[in-house]
Homo-oligomer: A and B are copies of this chain.
Amino acid sequence: MAQARTSRHAVQQQMRRIFEEIVPFNRVLGLKVVSFDPKAPRVRFDMRPELIGNPSRQILHGGVISAVLDVAAGFAIHCAILDRHPPQARIEFPKMGTVDLRVDYLRPGRGRHFEATARVVRLGNRIAVTHMEMANDAGELIATGSAAYVVG
């Protein structure tokens, strides 16, 4: 039991390291894992000058928003697949590729920090589909999206 918990915890720490440190562009975005909960996985990042798209309005670049939603979706699928395994299982990270991504930009990306979450609405042997959303520190919805992935 203790070992199982350790194992799951270890896998999460490995996932965190990959998402936060190993993937170079995630570091550019400054992404941090907030929650591994498969029902509400969350990542966050702080506003930083280099993430800005419109200097006079001081808002995020649209490409930052689409990039973060893509990462949030991939992270959610990893959490969902991890959650399927019995706790003591040896976990292999799935090979995944984004098939397509849609982003709806709802409000200007204004804020001090931002959180993104994703919900896996389809998880088959070959295809996973997610819904994503990103909010600022005032809780305002900045963007939503959906994406399809090949998995396995």
**Chain A contact residues, CB within 8 Å of chain B:** 22-29, 49-55, 61-64, 66-68, 70-71, 97-108, 121-122, 126-127, 129, 131, 141, 144, 146, 148, 150
Given A101-B102, A121-B141, A121-B144, 8 more A-B residue pairs with CB atoms under 8 Å apart are A24-B53, A26-B61, A62-B98, A63-B66, A67-B67, A98-B105, A99-B127, A126-B150
Q: What is the total number of copies of this protein in its complex?
A: 4
Chain B neighbourhood of A49, CB < 8 A: 24
Q: How far is the CA of A140 from the CA of B58 in the complex (A)?
A: 36
Chain B neighbourhood of A66, CB < 8 A: 63, 66-67, 70, 101, 103
Q: Let me know if B61 and A23 touch, CB within 8 A.
A: yes
